[in-house]
Structure 1
């Protein structure tokens, strides 16, 4: 369960109250008065804890858990019946677990705090109820909305605008950027750095000035040590609701649509254009000027070298429709097996 040294817990709540507050269904009304003090994994839970069971691979942990209550789906509970446990049913159990976790661990309410040793330029504007930690730097013309949190050793460069309720983690840097409301930038991220733009010259590459911005919509999450380059002349754009994992590289002038999901170590080259709801698996690479249609899915470790139509899943390098990729992989396996058999000692 969460460590009280780092997370402040609310509650306790009755099981019936939890079900009502998150909009899920109580399996047995007789269990409604059960008092739940915390959330925990199936393996670590105690009798006053609630645990999620959303994946049949954790069947053995579910059968042996000491949790007093479990959030799951009706289908899983019928497939793996368990007596003596208070059940809450939801067909979107993973989503409802997020609601339970927020119920027990709401975001802390903080007053306005500007720590010692913070460098804030005179014309920077800091909204109400912001928290700025030691050694942070706010440059000329910076605007912070209300309730922003700025971590230690963070640098917010000249002219940057952040909306309300933004969080910028320790050691991050933000420049040349306009950022919406509710954006969270994790530790060590680099937003607005100069893009990789060069022209060949008589004595080697000549850097092209990067004169664009990064424009980030509302409720975007940007993982630790991710880099988003500013545009070369236009803007690099990250659509509202998009989630970006750690160690992702997004090149200059890339445009990411609404509610995309980009896993760790993905590289998106300059001027790539992603539609809404695109999902990209870890370590995939997207070539420059590629267009990926809305709702497309890119398998992990893929190399995308040509446009991808909407609602298509692709995999491999170069990426092809996923069924074709699986057929190719199977065929290669058969060829390799045949080759080994042909060369076996007689």
Structure 2
């Protein structure tokens, strides 16, 4: 990357580490390599990794691959001959997946929110004396944590976020700036991005009060400004490992299964049940690709 101002690599990866991490096959002779970043074909440096998928029928992209300055090219076996001689070439049946594994290893801090003001409870945060916080919880300025709230070790609460009374959040989770969480039980390693609303009633709350909860299971991610409403007749549940994109709306009494993907802007029907491994609201350009090739 041209200016690593916001994300600095935590390590570098040599060829043996890259082979172990990706499970890819080396094409050509082994040589010295040190990867410290990732990039696109056009902007990569000799210390960056890039990837391409099948480029059949895309002569311009093949030309860009041949001209790249990247030090490491992850390609499907069919594209290995088009990579430049200056690069180390690793062939993989899933080059995108290998590329993401490298990016995660180099930039682990990009996988979850970090505390803006550093570890601990910052000045200006309001934590009710009846709230219970395990060690290593970080709370940024302006955040409000209500009575009886429980927050697990390693969790980060962003600036001006609000956690209502009795909310429970597991370990190593992240609540984004300005997010509001109420009437919710939240698992480990959950990410709620800025501005999301979790656990509130719908517009007709005065006429038909909602008495259920929101349950976000482990490893769920909720996008910026998404809304997950508390249940009325049953709990609203988002299952383990599922992703709800920005501006999506999960109405009350919805049950989203495990490892689902809800695309941005989609509003599910009230009371709907979404089976495990479902993709909802798939954008038109992705509908033309096999589902096995779509990476959440």
Please tell me the TM-score bracket, short chain as reference.
Answer: 0.7 to 0.9
**C-alpha RMSD of the superposition:** 2.4
Greater mean deviation of Cα atoms: 55-64 or 87-96 = 55-64
Q: Which residue does 1:50 correspond to in 2?
A: 49
Kindly indicate whether the alpha-carbon contact (under 8 Å) linking 1:39 and 1:45 is maintained by their aligned counterparts in 2: yes
Deviation at 1:15, TM superposition (A): 2.5
Alignment of 1:191-206 (within 5 A): 191-197=198-204
Pairing 1:186–2:193 present: yes
- Distance in 1, Cα, partners of 2:283 & 2:199: 22
Kindly indicate whether the alpha-carbon contact (under 8 Å) linking 1:191 and 1:230 is maintained by their aligned counterparts in 2: yes
Pairing 1:117–2:119 present: no
Pairing 1:151–2:158 present: yes
Q: Which residue does 1:89 correspond to in 2?
A: 91
Deviation at 1:17, TM superposition (A): 2.1
- Distance in 2, Cα, partners of 1:3 & 1:250: 38
Q: Quick one: structure 1 residues 48 and 132, their matched pair in 2 at CA, closer, same or farther if it must change by over 3 Å?
A: same
Alignment of 1:260-279 (within 5 A): 260-279=260-279
Kindly indicate whether the alpha-carbon contact (under 8 Å) linking 2:227 and 2:248 is maintained by their aligned counterparts in 1: yes
Pairing 1:132–2:135 present: no
C-alpha deviations, 1:213-267, integer Å up to 9, x for none? Answer: 0011110111100001000131101010101111101110011011011111111
Q: Which residue does 1:63 correspond to in 2?
A: 66
Pairing 1:38–2:41 present: no
Pairing 1:212–2:215 present: no
- Distance in 2, Cα, partners of 1:125 & 1:8: 33
Deviation at 1:141, TM superposition (A): 0.6
Q: Quick one: structure 1 residues 48 and 230, their matched pair in 2 at CA, closer, same or farther if it must change by over 3 Å?
A: same
Instruction: For structure 2, list consecutive stretches of 5 or more residues without a partner in the other structure.
Output: 292-296
Alignment of 1:1-346 (within 5 A): 1=1, 3-31=3-31, 33-54=32-53, 56=55, 57=58, 58-78=61-81, 80-107=82-109, 112-197=119-204, 207-282=207-282
Larger of the two Rg values belongs to structure: 1
Kindly indicate whether the alpha-carbon contact (under 8 Å) linking 1:10 and 1:105 is maintained by their aligned counterparts in 2: yes
Instruction: For structure 1, list consecutive stretches of 5 or more residues without a partner in the other structure.
Output: 199-205, 285-297, 301-310, 312-346
Q: Quick one: structure 1 residues 194 and 283, their matched pair in 2 at CA, closer, same or farther if it must change by over 3 Å?
A: farther
Kindly indicate whether the alpha-carbon contact (under 8 Å) linking 1:52 and 1:97 is maintained by their aligned counterparts in 2: yes
Q: Quick one: structure 1 residues 129 and 41, their matched pair in 2 at CA, closer, same or farther if it must change by over 3 Å?
A: same
